[in-house]
């Protein structure tokens, strides 16, 4: 049984702990769906002031909903559309302080105010994105960006991705 964890209030320490926990969860597992499901549950349990944490996976040139924690979400997102699609197209982290000011934002949950999306690259190609939404404006900062990138790196190395 997974023990309930009290996460440190300091972000750097929290992300270090999350990295150790995620590494332990994926240590002997290569299947991406269970690993991504556990990662989204881990994030949802650790991060404060978020209302959605999950993954979109590349399939047939589109982002398709993968494992997540939160309210029902958009199932398919074209590359280049919305925050997730922009991250997929540019291969750059998208940290959006106010989603209502982002051109072409896709509102799956009207309560979301800010968002961060981390592209997932495995062997030099895009395999998906990590998407986290918050009901608070300007929720995400540089420490979140760095910590989440570390978690994505753990996942992309651990999982077996389709060719």
Angle at 82 between CA 35 and CA 16, to 5 degrees: 35
Is the pLDDT at 2 greater than 50? The verdict is no
Dihedral over Cα of 99, 128, 23, 93: its sign: negative
| Mean pLDDT in residue range 11-25 | 95
Is the pLDDT at 95 greater than 60? The verdict is yes
Distance CA 141, CA 38 (A): 24
pLDDT of the residue at 158: 96
Cβ distance 95 to 140 under 8 Å? yes
Dihedral over Cα of 77, 80, 85, 91: its sign: positive
Taking the model in full, what pTM does it have?
0.93
Task: Read off the pLDDT of residues 54-88 as tens digits, 9 standing for 90 and up.
Answer: 999 999 999 999 999 999 999 999 999 999 999 99
The position carrying tokens 């209030």 is 9
The burial of 114, by beta-carbon neighbours within 10 Å (0-12 exposed, 13-18 middle, 19 or more buried), is given as buried
- Which of the four pLDDT bands, split at 50, 70 and 90, describes residue 1? very low
**Beta strand 76-78 with 94-96: parallel, antiparallel or unpaired?**
unpaired
Residue 112 dihedral angles phi and psi, to the nearest 5°: -70, 135
Cβ distance 48 to 136 under 8 Å? no
**Rounded to 10 degrees, what is the CA torsion of 4, 10, 14, 17?**
-90
């Amino acid at each position: 049984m997974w023990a309930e964890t009290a996460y440190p209030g300091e972000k750097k320490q929290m992300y270090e702990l999350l990295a150790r926990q995620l590494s332990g969860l994926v240590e002997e597992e290569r299947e991406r769906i269970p690993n991504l499901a556990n990662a989204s549950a881990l994030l949802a349990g650790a991060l404060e002031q978020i209302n959605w944490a999950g993954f979109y996976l590349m399939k047939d040139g589109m982002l398709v909903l993968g494992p997540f924690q939160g309210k029902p979400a958009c199932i398919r997102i074209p590359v280049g559309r919305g925050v997730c699609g922009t991250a997929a197209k540019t291969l750059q982290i998208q940290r959006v302080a106010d989603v209502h000011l982002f051109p072409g934002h896709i509102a799956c949950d009207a309560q979301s105010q800010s968002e961060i999306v981390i592209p997932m690259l495995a062997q030099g190609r895009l395999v998906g994105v990590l998407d986290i939404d918050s009901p608070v404006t300007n929720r995400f900062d540089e420490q979140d960006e760095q910590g989440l990138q570390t978690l994505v790196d753990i996942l992309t190395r651990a999982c077996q991705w389709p060719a």
